[in-house]
Chain A
């Protein structure tokens, strides 16, 4: 009985540790980062489409999230993180790391530029998305593989 409990405890600890480690792996970190960018995009698009009222705080927060996340994003692709955990990262990232970095930084720079001009109404948010949006597809076209 004691042995069983001990084994169970060990197994459980192992599982829990496994979960902690997995969340820290670059594959998981970058997936979460992309989800954050997607969330920020969604918040802005809601305003642009008129589904949500214009809210300067939301616009600022979303653009800041995009800028910060995009700039830190290329650091999450160390050697050894090419595969595993259902990563959809294309091997081309490591073949063209400079171009990949440039694309991520451009998203950051575009978000910064929009933030500096601060879109003041629904139409301006829509126009801002026209600037920012193509970065998403432009990078995913080359550097993401859908499984």
Chain B
């Protein structure tokens, strides 16, 4: 009897260890192999500045309320309230200790596209690496080069304020297993270079889906609801549907969408509002062809 019990216990232990190992294997942080970030050469700073605008980095990483050139100080500190707790945006200025000045391209790139931090830890998807995962290695290299040209800040942002179990970073491996993907979000005609470019900008650096797509209880995107609109994560109001089936922009022509992104005015001369104001200012900095590509893509996705 005693022997049986011991056998049972030891097989349970073995099972537990195997399950834990399997769990770890499935959910461990997975940076790119080092070769992914090699041989990229000198960063193209001008392109990096465009990726920086497309990515909307300042919207979260600038000091809250900063205007003009002060926005280029990526000191962090903005609190992001979410159903999972409050995230505090980190300092990503090129400061060697408080910022990312001491990071290598591979460390920066794996944070951007794999959600893996400098210490090899999982990052919280409040940092939209689930979108940035689509960035090309070249764009990441150029972006990193550009960020290094910006002013340093010694500001140390507070750490995240999250209740259990969301404060356990290991659990993020499970989140990634369920929801992390660098595959296209929808099928569009990518033989049209304009639509392909739009898909890259919207699904990748633009990270439009992070607000415009509804999420399930675990914070993953609801399937089949790409860009269909969602509750405002910051509180009251709604983030609109931006598919061709949208009541607000479905009737807009591609030209009108591009014009809205450039000027901030709708075809009826209502204006951009809320968090989209910052986004629109960034979109206005892109070449006209990029805004047209975004519009073409938004016209090509499934109507919801």
Contact yes or no, B274 A39, CB < 8 A: no
Query: What are the residues of chain A within 8 A of B273 when measuring CB–CB?
Result: 137, 140-141, 144, 146
Q: Does B169 sit at the interface, judged by CB under 8 A?
A: no
A41 interface contact, C-beta 8 A: yes
Which residues of chain B have C-beta atoms less than 8 A from A134's C-beta?
A: 264
**Across the interface, do B269 and A45 meet the contact criterion of CB distance under 8 Å?**
yes
| Contact between chains at A145 and B274 (CB < 8 Å) | yes
Known: A138-B277, A140-B273, A140-B274. A145 touches B237 (CB 8 A): yes
| Residue in contact with A38 in the complex, picked from B269, B275, B277, CB distance below 8 Å | B269
A14 contacts partner chain B, Cβ-Cβ < 8 Å? no
Give the Cβ gap from B59 to chain A, nearest Cβ, in Å.
11
Contacts of A42 in B (CB 8 A): 268-269
A136 pairs with B264, CB closer than 8 A? yes
Q: A144-B274, A145-B236 are in contact. Are A137 and B264 (CB under 8 A)?
A: yes
A4, CB-defined interface residue at 8 Å: no
| In contact, B271 and A146 (Cβ under 8 angstroms) | no
Tell me how many residue pairs across A and B have CB atoms closer than 8 Å: 57
Task: Please provide the chain A residues from 94 to 147 with a CB less than 8 Å away from any CB of chain B in the complex.
Answer: 133-134, 136-138, 140-141, 144-147
For A140, list chain B residues within 8 Å (CB). 271-274, 277
What sequence of 0s and 1s flags, for each residue 79-97 of chain A, a beta carbon within 8 Å of any chain B beta carbon? 0000000000011000000
Check if B36 is an interface residue, CB within 8 A of chain A.
no
Neighbouring A residues of B270 by C-beta, 8 Å:
34, 38
Q: A146-B237, A146-B240 are in contact. Are A133 and B265 (CB under 8 A)?
A: yes
- Report the separation of the CA atoms of residues A141 and B275 in the bound assembly, to the nearest whole angstrom: 6
Binary contact track B254-280/A, C-beta < 8 Å → 1, others 0: 000000000111001111111101101
User: Which residue of chain A has its CB nearest to the CB of B266?
Assistant: A38
Is A133 touching B264 in the complex (CB atoms < 8 A)?
A: yes
Contact A39 B236 (CB under 8 A): no
Question: Which residues of A lie under 8 Å from residue B280 when comparing CB positions?
Answer: 137
Binding site for A on B (CB under 8 A): 232, 236-238, 240, 263-265, 268-275, 277-278, 280-281
Q: List 8 A-B contacts (CB under 8 A).
A: A38-B270, A42-B268, A45-B263, A136-B271, A137-B271, A137-B273, A145-B236, A146-B274
